[in-house]
Structures are given as structure tokens and as C-alpha cells.
Homo-oligomer: A and B are copies of this chain.
């Protein structure tokens, strides 16, 4: 194998063109095998193999610095920069992260997993280089999809003004995760169709020097162009047309499916396991499809992540103009929803918890300050074993401290559907719902609660001495803890399902004082700034004790969930121990 000779990036320097082509094939095979085994980003990595080889052939990383936007296309880079064992040796498949990680290699400048940041980060690197009077190329490699994000535009606009070396490589595979949306993509298409020669040129209009590479999976062509722009003294865009999924027929033909895959998705592609079970995702899409037929102003919106919310092709085709993919534009998506709601439509915006982080000011100013009655569905919220870049444990503190927002935490199917229906049909509040991130629980009993009466908690079990507030995903833990307490202490605790994240049920909390000594709060997210602290503050002046349970304020990085739970004492036995200590009790069992 040619790869045997490549232990660090500089080993590429001596390779001939033919060897590099073979190397590309070798890398491609490794990626297909490994990603099919572990899951991960397939299409983006297969498309960028040649670009990565050419980059390391022409430039001198880490003196020349490459910033990988969203960094889900960094596998070839990892293979070429001393980490190939993570792809050749199955026992080491999980040693390296799926994103750039400075702790792994000096060739990775940043830990990145959210899109559209590379241009700004690169401008910073370039400006520092200039202030230090140093040399070297600063390169941002950004996909066409990521260009729709506002931060990418801010960075591009500033990059164009830099008056020194910065090279933006636009990896144009004509896809975001799904199809691109936005006017910019018509210009990219025009540029592809004119071999980069059209006079209407988005990048040139911003002031960039511009190069186009039509054969972006051809190493020689890429090298030829990279040689031209190396050490260039002004802001330059290299627009490279690549094929997403290149080299894997299934991925080339099903770009969205193979953007990111679960383990063995390739093996199972022609015989996919059939999932007919109800889950929170498909009951949501069913609800939207049904209601959208009745009310033509209902619009389902995704900021370029339709897979997160199950907005699949069938769903999109059924909704027609009642479905909008805004591109990677979380900020716009929230303001867009506000505009829709203000003009009498019923927007339902689906966003993954990690990406709602991009919208604080839009939630606050564009939406909640205007009390626009949009519905935001927050997916995957909770503590997680995910990469540090994709944690989903910050949405509660992010959102619950914004005035006017009603953020709901359902705990079962019927409750969720009742909340969703209320939220979509009311026109008074900006609302958000944290879709349960646990297996679907159905009570079988319709929830007839009037959610327009805000901040009314539900007493699930009447007890005394101890009250447990189990928010959303953690109501089951509240039940388990109550059982453990009863078994251990012969105390039957009160169990409460708060339902409303954004407000206190002061009446109920006040009432609890009479017959309870200690309040336990459980939330599936970081404690810092969240729900439990407000309960502690409420009881601060009283004699009631409060124990808050939730995640720590930290960027965990692929830590198993069990370990996180144990570290945070999110466990019925540990909580019971804490109660025993706080109340100075003795266990009976």
C-alpha cells in the first residue's frame, strides 16, 4: 500500500501523481469500511479525498494552517496526519474523534463541529500571522452548504477585506445535508455551468480573487490550482466542484442518506430494517401531516437538518409549499418563524438542541420580545455521550431564561401531543417543546390539560416528607427514586411532573412546604442556569431543603452516559443516600 509510506503529511511530498491516485483509492476504501462499521460521516469524506491529498502535497501543514469547516470532512486529513491507525486497525476505530481535535494532532487547529465558523476562525489566524510578521498560508475549507450560515458570510466579508494571504476553498458538492436552499446556490450552479467564468460571481462581488476547479476529484488539477494560489498575497477563493460520496455508488446516488450514517447502514442499505414502531419523531410528523391538510398556514421548517426531525422525502413531498428548508440558517429560521406567525401563519420549526445555541438573540429579540406565536421543537435535548461539539445539554439554560418564552417538557406521548396541539393552535405565546429524548411512553389516556394556564405542574403521586420534581426525560427517574426512597426509608415521596420549564408553580411549591422537608429536582441537562436552581432559589428563604440533580457545566467528550449519570449522582440509590444525609435519617433497608 502507498499509505504504508505515509506516516505524516510531509511524506506526501515525494509521491508521484499515479501514486497519489492509488493513495486516494486506498483512503476511500478505508473510510468506507470504517464508517460502515462505526457509523459517521460518509459522503463528505469520500468527496474530499483528492482535495485533502492535494492540500497536503502543496501546502506545509502545520506552518500553513487548514481550518476544516464543521470538520465532518476531516477523515482523509486525519489519515494523512499520523492517525491512519484509527482507520486501518479496527481495534483503534474509536481512538480518534470524527472532528478535528487539537489534542490529537498539531495539524488540527480547532475543535469544530458546528458549521460556518471556518472563515472567521481563519481570518483570526491570518491577522495574528500578520501582526507577528510571519509567513504561511491560512486556508479555510468550507462546503457549499455551510456558506448559507450567517457566521460564514460575516467571516467571508471580513476575509475579503484582509489585504493579505487567506485562501477560502469552497468544496462545492451541490449539497448541504439535504439539497441546498437559497439564492447563493443559483450562483454556484451558474459558476459550475460556466466553468467559473460567469460575470455574476458572488465571491468576486465581495472582492475575492477567484479560481475555479471543475474536476475537484482530480488530484493533478487541484495541485495545479493550489500551486497557483500558494503564498498568494491577497484574499482568494478556490471554488472546487466535487462529488459527494465519490467512489461509493450508493453514496453518490443517495447523497442525503449517506451524509452521515449509523453503523452498518451500507450493509443494510438494500434491506433496511423496517421501523414501524411509534416514536416521538414519527408521531410528530404524523401530527404535522394531518393538521397541515386542515390548516394551509401550517409550515414545517428545518434549518437544513431534516433528518433530525424525521422530515424525510415523503413528508416533504406531502407538505409541498408547507415545508421549508431554510438552509443552514438557524438565526434566519427563528426570525422567519416569527414573521410567519406575526402574519397569521402557524410555523413549526424543528431544531436539534445543539444547534438552537446559534439563536439566542433571535429567540429573545425576533421571537419572544414580539410574542410571535411560533412553535419550536427542540430535538435530542439531554445529557449525551456525544462529541464535545454536539452536546445537547445546554438548551434549558439557554432558553428558559428568555422572557416570554413558554418552554414545555412533556413526559409521554399523550402529554406531548396535547402540548403540541395547544402550541400550534394558540396565538398568544412563543413556545418551544423539548421533545422527549427517551423511548416513547404512552399512557393510553388523552391529556385534556389546558396548557394556556401556564406553569401548572402536575402532581403524579401524592406523598410527604420528600417531593421529587422530575423534569421531562427524567420523570421516569423520579419514579424510580420514589420507589427506592419508599423501600429504603418507608417514606412515600410526592412525585411532580413540572411540564413547564419556563416558570414556577408557586402555589404548588408553597403548598409542598406544609408536609415536606426536602425537594429533589432532576433535569436532563446542565444544572447551571437551569430548572433546579430556580427551585432552590424559591425555597432559599424557607426551612425546606433542596437537592438539585443534573449535568455539570462542562464540555464532556464522548463520555459514556452511564459514567455521566454516576458522576452527577443521577441514580436513585445515590439520591436516596444524599437524602438520608441531608435529613439525618437512618435507612430501614
Does A314 belong to the interface (CB within 8 Å)? no
The answer to whether B183 touches A335 (Cβ under 8 A) is: no
Does A542 belong to the interface (CB within 8 Å)? yes
The answer to whether A117 touches B366 (Cβ under 8 A) is: yes
Nearest CB to that of A160 among chain B residues?
B183
Contacts of A578 in B (CB 8 A): 541
Does A156 belong to the interface (CB within 8 Å)? yes
Does A385 belong to the interface (CB within 8 Å)? no
Contacts of A358 in B (CB 8 A): 360-361
The answer to whether A529 touches B401 (Cβ under 8 A) is: yes
CB distance from A110 to the nearest CB of B (A): 5
Does A20 belong to the interface (CB within 8 Å)? no
How far is B398's CA from A112's CA once the two chains are assembled, in angstroms?
21
The answer to whether A204 touches B208 (Cβ under 8 A) is: no
Contacts of A187 in B (CB 8 A): 205-207
Does A6 belong to the interface (CB within 8 Å)? no
CB distance from A109 to the nearest CB of B (A): 6
How far is B537's CA from A539's CA once the two chains are assembled, in angstroms?
10
CB distance from A121 to the nearest CB of B (A): 4
Contacts of A112 in B (CB 8 A): 365
Partner of A555, one of B299, B369, B539: B369
Contacts of A357 in B (CB 8 A): 360-361, 364-365
Complex interface bits, A288-303 against B, C-beta within 8 A gives 1, otherwise 0: 0000000011010000
Q: A128-B339, A128-B341, A527-B537 are in contact. List 12 more A-B contacts (CB 8 A).
A: A119-B332, A125-B339, A128-B297, A128-B340, A148-B157, A187-B205, A200-B204, A533-B536, A533-B537, A536-B540, A540-B548, A542-B545
A-B contacts, 24 of them at CB < 8 A, read A121-B336, A121-B342, A122-B339, A124-B339, A124-B341, A124-B343, A128-B341, A128-B345, A153-B153, A153-B154, A154-B331, A157-B327, A183-B207, A183-B235, A357-B361, A358-B361, A360-B360, A397-B529, A398-B401, A400-B529, A403-B553, A536-B536, A539-B540, A541-B545
